[in-house]
Copies of this chain bind each other. A is one copy, B any other.
Amino acid sequence: MFSMKLQGGMPIHEQLRARITELIINGEMKEGEKLPAVREIAKQLTINPNTVQKTYAELERQGLIYSVPAKGSYVSPRAKYINKLNQQTSETFAEAVESALALGLSEEDLLKIVSEVSQKQR
């Protein structure tokens, strides 16, 4: 299922997240379907369960999956819809970044603003 070769240069939990997202979007994993257990994937990829857990937590925060303790993790009913919304939001935000760069702000400036605004929201 999760046949994938881990590469360097990108965190493992992120590679795994990209892979699972891909499976959901392509329809290879149906909505409502149960995902493999954390330890299952960890064993298969020879990585730590916590790394998989981090991936699941992020996917759940995104709304692509939901997890029930002692039961399992499942593909969210509206996974595709949410993913599409996220993609659109990402594209729009990327354009905002381009504009800001063109107007003279630096990458550091933008990173700082993102951090500050994010912190304020908590």
Chain B's nearest CB lies how many Å from the CB of A100?
5
A121 within 8 A of B: yes
Each complex incorporates copies of this chain amounting to 2
A111 within 8 A of B: yes
A101 to B89, CA, bound (A): 9
A89 to B104, CA, bound (A): 8
A55 to B96, CA, bound (A): 26
Known: A93-B100, A96-B93, A100-B89. A114 touches B107 (CB 8 A): yes
Cβ contact of A94, chosen from B90, B97, B113, cutoff 8 A: B113
**Identity of the chain B residue whose Cβ is nearest the Cβ of A109 in the assembled complex:** B90
A67 to B86, CA, bound (A): 43
Instruction: Say whether A113 contacts B97, CB under 8 Å.
Output: yes
**Identity of the chain B residue whose Cβ is nearest the Cβ of A117 in the assembled complex:** B97
Taking A93-B105, A93-B110, A111-B115 as known contacts, 7 extra A-B pairs with beta carbons closer than 8 A to each other, sorted by chain A number, are A62-B104, A82-B104, A86-B109, A89-B104, A97-B117, A101-B121, A107-B114
